[in-house]
Structure 1
Amino acid sequence: MESSRFSRTLAAGAAIVAAVSLAACGGTGGSAGVDDKVIEFWDPYPQYAEGSDWHEWVVDCAPEGYTIKRQGMPQNDVLNSLTTAVKADNAPDVAVLDNPFMPTAVDSGLVTDLATAGVDVDGFDENIEGPGIVDGVQYGLAFGSNALGLYYNPEVLDSAGVDPASITDWDSLNAAIGKVVDSGAKGITFSGITGEEGVFQFLPWFWGAGGDLSEPESQAAEDAQALVSGWIRNGWAPKSATTDNQSASWDLMLTGEYGFAENGSWQAAAAREHGFGMIPIPAKDGGVAPVATGGEFATLPYHKTANAEKTEAAASVITCLTSGENLARTNETIGYLAATKTARETQVRENGLWAPWVESVEGARGRTTDVGLEYETISATLSENLQAALNS
């Protein structure tokens, strides 16, 4: 699932973390751990319990002579607990961090250079890996990415006389939504909630209008705000979009009453079950709008009293999850599209569900790639202005 709940407090990286104790997360890993042959592995996938495909896949990547103790926890807790653990020198051996957290983790000295530790970081897509690279050093390796798209209900569109292939820019999208509403159905759902989740959904429209994150209050931002706020003012989108998260927005689409929904590739399987289709989000004047890369980065946390042998073993776990044919399996297990063309082609060949998403993932942009820690302030500005527009 998209990992977009980005906390400004977390981004500041402060003490932040005292509220989430290490004991609460069971952290006893790292060089100060009880057993040097146990690799502590933290990830933000608490939905995958012991016995799940993901859990078993991670555990199977234990190098010879080692076992892996995996713990899933909420995204924010991973960064909070990692900060506490690094200070106490009992950090886990592998930590999987949400991609907007990478600049904070690097700036706070929580993670180390992957290549130096022996992780093979060559051959991965630059756009997906961007947030994990700071000042030319790769501190995190993304398995792959999820993405946003424009889902549609064929039954609703057929009744309204709308061909989804005709939607190529904002004007044709608005014309299609108008026809859907005129036919008696409802228009479009999206998430405009305050914070990073709403910004994540806003960015394709912002970038699709030519926006640049270095100028969050540009004409492009105003154009994108006018587009999505216009949907609410016209009655084409629900007023609840101002507070709906992506899950709530998707629940509205599942009622079968709406023609369109902006949502993520993590809903692709459910969309297929309901007979929904998907097209890439259109840019203002035509073409495919860039979406934000979603997903997480595998990192090697910093240990004051380093154990070179164990670090090498931890690095081999990341390599196991991301090398060769394993990369496709890793992404299929968590529902992402892989961060290499070869692995994506394998996924599409074995599961046609992913075919419509390839173009969006390959054209996606990292939120922090170019702006680093400044993204915290930029995201807050975008969110504040979006809320003002949606509620005007």
Structure 2
Amino acid sequence: MNSRRRWAIAAGAVVAVASLAACGGGDNGAEEALTTVTFWDPYPQHDENSDWATYVEACAPEGMSLERTSIPNGDILNELTTAVKEDTAPSVVLLDNPAVPDAAVSGLLAPAEDAGIETEGPDENLAGPGTIDGTTYGVPIGANTLGLYYNETILEDAGVDPAGITSWDSLNAALQKVTGAGHQGITLAGISGEEGTFQFLPWFWGAGADLSDPGSDAAVEAGQLLSDWIGAGYAPKSAITDNQSASWDLFLTGEYAFAENGSWFAQAASELEFGAKMMPIPAKDGGAAPVPTGGEFAVAPTHKDNASAHYAAANEVIDCLVGAGNQVTTDDMLGYFAANGEERQQQIDADPIWEPWADAITSAEGRTTDLGPDYTAASGAISEAEQAALNAAGDEKAVRAAFEEAAQQVAQ
């Protein structure tokens, strides 16, 4: 890094210290040079010997080492809350995008401008979750989303033309055909919590439902769709507790016709012997349903002591991962799309497996873009309603009651 850039980063960090000091943060003593940059990510599947670990460690600023800690996605926000309170937070965190608003309003994150983090470049729909009340707190490390995979062999055997699956009615007709031909229907992740909500949103939004009103008729219709799949045997009962990896494992058996799952499985799908392709998730009355953006934001946690040193180091590491020209390499490591449209096109041009996903990523919606930090409560209520709907296995009264209860929770 040239001396002018180092000066700019340091100057930005000094601004950060002053800003945070006004809120009770800031340096309490003399600045000390960092020898180790601490880095958290939510990827336990990439162990210390993985290519990803080696790649991240190579982003350590000159004269420093990088110490990576991997924390499960469901735990990382709680861990960060404790660490910031104790002023032991890492310099960089890769934080799941729906957790960014909560972290920001709780004072856990330094504004990107204060920390000197470059935020220009990502597509607006992908960058949206990182901006809260006009202040940007991080930059997307990449993006992923959901689609509907299908088993070509099964559909051919059952006489189903995938091109004809464009609505809920046509999908249900296909499920009836494939199960009637002796095959299994569809896998999905209905697990309690954000992962289940993430997978439910295409059906929720595809019905025309709004996150601010989870008790609407449209929301009930979405819950009823999945509930009926359990009741009819189209989806396995394990969907109630399956996460995305478990539901994908079921699809890998070759027994299921469809799997709702993520773009991060596209490479694996292209290598399956039975032939797996992706189609957009259909909306209720036709066309493609809106799908949520997945992926993490690179953020700089708030520090009190030695803040400017932490922010300067964070800036360098984040630039190494998502700066201009670096996104494709980083996102190829993770099976993600680049958040910048031009760099994403490079990925698509280099590997045709990404082509079916191009439109889905471009039109994907941020989960927190409309509600900000209020998304957390809405997501929790919707998750509980979905769990009740799946357990109801088609019982219409139980499904409606579950979503009406969700609406009451959100209104409180």
Which of 176, 180, 184 is 2:174 aligned to?
176
Which of 189, 194, 197 is 1:196 aligned to?
194
3-state SS, counterpart of residue 205 of structure 2:
helix
- One-letter amino acid matched to 2:246: A
- One-letter amino acid matched to 1:222: V
* Equivalent-residue separation in structure 1 for 2:282 and 2:256 (angstroms): 19
Deviations 1:37-72 (A, max 9, x none): 321111111222234222222222223333322222
Which of 126, 148, 169 is 2:146 aligned to?
148
- 2:80 — aligned with what? 82
- 1:16 — aligned with what? none
Query: Following TM superposition, by how much is the alpha carbon of 1:34 offset from its aligned partner in structure 2, in angstroms?
Result: 8.7
Query: Following TM superposition, by how much is the alpha carbon of 1:310 offset from its aligned partner in structure 2, in angstroms?
Result: 4.2
Question: Is the 1:114–1:315 Cα contact (8 Å) retained in structure 2?
Answer: no
Give the direction of change, closer, same or farther, for the CA distance of 1:32–1:251 in structure 2 (3 Å limit).
farther
* Equivalent-residue separation in structure 1 for 2:363 and 2:41 (angstroms): 26
* Equivalent-residue separation in structure 1 for 2:35 and 2:112 (angstroms): 20
Query: Following TM superposition, by how much is the alpha carbon of 1:33 offset from its aligned partner in structure 2, in angstroms?
Result: 10
- 1:12 — aligned with what? none
Instruction: Say whether 1:117 aligns with 2:121.
Output: no
Higher mean C-alpha deviation, range 373-382 or range 301-310: 301-310
- 2:265 — aligned with what? 267
Give the direction of change, closer, same or farther, for the CA distance of 1:147–1:32 in structure 2 (3 Å limit).
farther
- 2:329 — aligned with what? 329
Question: Is the 2:281–2:289 Cα contact (8 Å) retained in structure 1?
Answer: yes
Give the direction of change, closer, same or farther, for the CA distance of 1:102–1:342 in structure 2 (3 Å limit).
same
Which of 92, 99, 102 is 2:100 aligned to?
102
TM value normalised by structure 2: 0.83
**Unmatched runs of 5 consecutive residues or more in structure 1:** 1-30
Instruction: Say whether 1:318 aligns with 2:314.
Output: no
- One-letter amino acid matched to 2:135: V
* Equivalent-residue separation in structure 2 for 1:357 and 1:33 (angstroms): 47
* Equivalent-residue separation in structure 2 for 1:228 and 1:368 (angstroms): 23
Which of 38, 43, 47 is 1:45 aligned to?
43
Higher mean C-alpha deviation, range 58-67 or range 260-269: 58-67
Query: Following TM superposition, by how much is the alpha carbon of 1:388 offset from its aligned partner in structure 2, in angstroms?
Result: 2.4
Deviations 1:215-240 (A, max 9, x none): 11111111111211121222212222
Question: Is the 1:131–1:369 Cα contact (8 Å) retained in structure 2?
Answer: yes
- 2:406 — aligned with what? none
Give the direction of change, closer, same or farther, for the CA distance of 1:302–1:175 in structure 2 (3 Å limit).
same
TM value normalised by structure 1: 0.88
Question: Is the 2:34–2:309 Cα contact (8 Å) retained in structure 1?
Answer: no
Q: Percent identity at matched positions?
A: 56
- One-letter amino acid matched to 1:148: L
- 2:56 — aligned with what? 58
- One-letter amino acid matched to 1:181: T
3-state SS, counterpart of residue 151 of structure 1:
strand
Question: Is the 2:31–2:309 Cα contact (8 Å) retained in structure 1?
Answer: no
3-state SS, counterpart of residue 150 of structure 1:
strand
* Equivalent-residue separation in structure 1 for 2:88 and 2:249 (angstroms): 41
CA-atom RMSD, angstroms?
2.0
* Equivalent-residue separation in structure 1 for 2:136 and 2:217 (angstroms): 34
3-state SS, counterpart of residue 152 of structure 1:
strand
Give the direction of change, closer, same or farther, for the CA distance of 1:330–1:213 in structure 2 (3 Å limit).
same
Equivalences for 1:270-349 in 2 at 5 Å? 270-274=268-272, 275-349=275-349
* Equivalent-residue separation in structure 2 for 1:53 and 1:359 (angstroms): 29
- One-letter amino acid matched to 1:95: V
Query: Following TM superposition, by how much is the alpha carbon of 1:333 offset from its aligned partner in structure 2, in angstroms?
Result: 0.5
- 1:358 — aligned with what? 358
- 1:185 — aligned with what? 183
- 1:18 — aligned with what? none
* Equivalent-residue separation in structure 2 for 1:217 and 1:228 (angstroms): 16
Which of 123, 126, 137 is 2:124 aligned to?
126
* Equivalent-residue separation in structure 1 for 2:271 and 2:104 (angstroms): 41
* Equivalent-residue separation in structure 2 for 1:386 and 1:47 (angstroms): 27
- One-letter amino acid matched to 2:342: T
Give the direction of change, closer, same or farther, for the CA distance of 1:116–1:33 in structure 2 (3 Å limit).
closer
Give the direction of change, closer, same or farther, for the CA distance of 1:75–1:235 in structure 2 (3 Å limit).
closer
Which of 226, 231, 234 is 1:233 aligned to?
231
3-state SS, counterpart of residue 145 of structure 1:
coil
3-state SS, counterpart of residue 259 of structure 2:
strand
* Equivalent-residue separation in structure 2 for 1:50 and 1:347 (angstroms): 26
Question: Is the 1:320–1:326 Cα contact (8 Å) retained in structure 2?
Answer: yes
Q: Which has the larger radius of gyration?
A: 2
- One-letter amino acid matched to 1:280: P
**Unmatched runs of 5 consecutive residues or more in structure 2:** 1-28, 393-412
Query: Following TM superposition, by how much is the alpha carbon of 1:260 offset from its aligned partner in structure 2, in angstroms?
Result: 0.7
* Equivalent-residue separation in structure 1 for 2:238 and 2:90 (angstroms): 40
Question: Is the 1:217–1:382 Cα contact (8 Å) retained in structure 2?
Answer: no
Equivalences for 1:212-223 in 2 at 5 Å? 212-223=210-221
Equivalences, count: 363
